[in-house]
Amino acid sequence: MTTHDYAFNRLRQAIMVGAFRPGTSVTIRGLAEALESSPTPVREALRQLTSIGALQFLENRRIVVPHITPARFEELISLRIALESHAARRAVAHLSERQIQQIAAVDDSIETEIRGGDKVAALIANQAFHRMIYTANPDPVAMPLIESVWLQLGPILGIAMEHVTELYVVDRHREAIEALRRRDEEAVADAIAADIREGIGGFDQQAVARLLRLAA
């Protein structure tokens, strides 16, 4: 693995799980030092991250984690619903019984992580649940786009996690798995849409605005 790949994956993962707050600025040399490398591969990684909306190069050449407004948040959630219900529908026909079994196992692991109280681990497991469904499609062209949206939601997700004391399960995963077993494409799509809407999407504009104020 190249230095560039390492830097890209490290940063990407950090942003995805909310380790950076909106508005945070990063420097090439700072990250290069932190990752014990040099500006060249780090700058490439940062440039790639801007391409997928995870970071932003401002006019004055500062590099920042994008700000999120309530309106933008709502756009991102509705985009998640459009993209992921589409990807789920497209994956149904390709899923084997064995794969559905594995997906159910990952769903169980989410509850385990929640009981363990590890928010980041629960989040990663939840993403794995969704990813396993969508990537059953042999041509998962939607997956990179979905991950781009996840990355853009990452920073506010980090803020939300800071202010959640009690973790509890609010998902439609069981419903989705049942629909997968029945090969019911519309039911799968509906379950995924509801899962997103009632999960992080369940934060209404006021709640998001409150979170963003707390972060500022």
Partner DNA sequence: TTTCAGAAAATGTGATCACAAAAAGAGATT
Partner DNA sequence: AATCTCTTTTTGTGATCACATTTTCTGAAA
Q: Which part of the chain contacts its own copies (CB under 8 A), choosing from 22-30, 147-155, 165-173, 201-209? A: 147-155
Other CB atoms within a 10 A radius of the CB of residue 173 amount to: 22
Asked whether position 111 contacts its own copies by CB under 8 A, the answer is no
What is the distance between the alpha carbons of residues 132 and 151, in angstroms, rounded to a whole number? 17
Q: What does 149 interact with, of its own copies, DNA, none (CB < 5 to 8 A by kind)?
A: its own copies
User: Using CB under 7 A, which of the segments 30-38, 133-141, 163-171, 174-182 binds DNA?
Assistant: 30-38
Q: Cα–Cα distance between 18 and 40 in angstroms, integer?
A: 25
- Give me the least distance between CB of 112 and its own copies, in Å please: 33
Q: Kindly tell me which of 44 and 118 has the beta carbon lying closer to DNA.
A: 44
Q: Which does 62 bind (CB under 5 to 8 A by kind): DNA, its own copies, none?
A: DNA
Site string for DNA, 45-84 (x = CB under 7 A): ------------x--xxxx---------------------
Helices (H) and strands (E) in the chain, counts: 10, 3
67 forms part of the interface with its own copies (CB under 8 A): no
CA distances in angstroms from 16 to 91, 95, 154, listed in the order given: 23, 26, 5
Interaction between residue 71 and its own copies (CB under 8 A)? yes
Contact, 102 vs 132, CB < 8 A? yes
Per-residue b/e over 145-158, b at no fewer than 16 CB within 10 Å? ebbbbbbbbbbbbb
CB atoms within 10 A of CB 104: 18
Q: Which amino acid is at 129?
A: F
Query: Which of these ranges, 29-37, 112-120, 153-161, 181-189, lies near DNA under the rule CB under 7 A?
Result: 29-37
| Chain positions contacting its own copies, by CB under 8 A | 4, 40, 43-44, 47-53, 69, 71-72, 75-76, 78-79, 82-83, 86, 90, 137-139, 141-142, 144-145, 148-149, 152
